[in-house]
Amino acid sequence: MTNPASSSSAQAVLITGGAGSVGRQLVEMFIEAGRAVRVFDLPMMDFTGLEGQDGIEIVKGDITDADGVRAAVEGVDAVLHLAAILPPNSERDRDLTFRVNVDGTKNIITALEQSAPDTRMVFTSSISTYGDTSGEEPPVRVGHSQSAIDIYADSKIEGEKLIFESSLTNTVSLRIAGILVPAFLEPPTPWPFMEDQRVEMVHRDDVADALFASASAPDAGGKIFHVAGGPTWQQHGRDYVKDFFEVMGAPVEMAVYRDTPGWMDWYDTEESQRILGYQNRSYQHYIGEMQAIIQEMMEG
């Protein structure tokens, strides 16, 4: 179902995985900024609130279908490629994860190479591609070697390789840190880090800000950026977990950590912050949001 954008389709931004949580945030941000948006997502997704809205065109399809992807990139001037299978689902079926995360990325690259190789393409990668860096001096820099410790990271390394080897001239790869969602949600078991491991996560809305800026920031083309929370988010696993359990009112003794290092660390975000300007929410801001959520639930 489509609702032709009110502005020129040449100004449209394609968001793959656009009906998901971050995708929806981005749709709203682009519409507010006067940009038309084409949302590409699986037909089974819930498009409520997107369908029939001015400036939003819905394309229901599968990222693994090359023909569908070719049609979806037609006439857009930026592609934000969010569609992917994320952990923990990504760890259940390597073939499926690679089909979606790698072959799907290849379909977008091929379609752009054939039609408009200078289109801005933003690829969502992950800081998990570095693997275990806990024995090294922080921060981790973009030039650090990559070494996957799970299927998801492996698929993202392959995706980055495809972009690097392509003839596209205007790509941006974002290696995104663990995303914290300000909501009453369960803790992971185990936490994906050791108790004394360095961790730097990022607020979900800062990730949306980084993606939004990446679509048009003139100095971002051809670059790889870290997207992580910044100095106020750099701490150790036990510090964050203690805060989390305190806010929830649950005993911290319940927390279960990894017994080997996970992929979290502290990251060099100087360049990404300078060019994308996305670190707009401090760790204290996040904790304040969580406290307000819990307070509201206690009063409600």
Partner 1 sequence: MPPSGQEMLEQSISKCQQIADGLGAQNSDWETSVVEIVDKFDEVSGTFFFQTMPSIPPTRTAMRAADAALNHKNSGDWGSFEPALTDLISSAQDVIEAAGMKGTTLT
Q: Smaller CB distance to partner 1: residue 10 or 181?
A: 181
Q: Does 151 bind partner 1 (CB under 8 A)?
A: no
Other CB atoms within 10 Å distance of the CB of residue 269: 26
Please say whether the beta carbons of 150 and 86 come within 8 A. no
Selected from 17, 131, 192, 237, the binder of partner 1 by CB under 8 A is: 192
Q: Which of 185, 190, 219, 280 binds partner 1 (CB under 8 A)?
A: 185
Give dist(CA 93, CA 75) in Å, integer. Answer: 34
Among 191, 212, 225, 278, binds partner 1 (CB under 8 A): 191
What six digits make up the tokens of 244? Answer: 């989390």
Query: Smallest gap, in angstroms, from Cβ of residue 298 to partner 1?
Result: 6
Q: How far apart are CA 81 and CA 122, in angstroms?
A: 6
What is residue 18's DSSP assignment?
T
How many Å separate Cα 135 from the centre of its chain? 26
Supply the minimum distance, in Å, between the C-beta of residue 198 and partner 1. Answer: 15
Residues 250-279 that bind partner 1 (CB under 8 A): 250-251, 254
Q: How far is the CB of 247 from partner 1 (least distance, A)?
A: 9
User: What is the distance between the alpha carbons of residues 89 and 87, in angstroms, rounded to a whole number?
Assistant: 5
Provide the H-helix boundaries in 43-185: 66-73, 94-98, 104-115, 151-165
- Judged by CB under 8 A, which of 9, 74, 103, 244 binds partner 1? 244
Least distance CB 229 / partner 1 (angstroms): 12
Output the smallest distance, CB 246 to partner 1, in A: 10
Q: What one-letter code names the amino acid at 238? A: R
What residues line the site for partner 1 (CB under 8 A)?
86-87, 178-181, 183-188, 191-192, 201, 244, 248-251, 254, 294, 297-298, 300
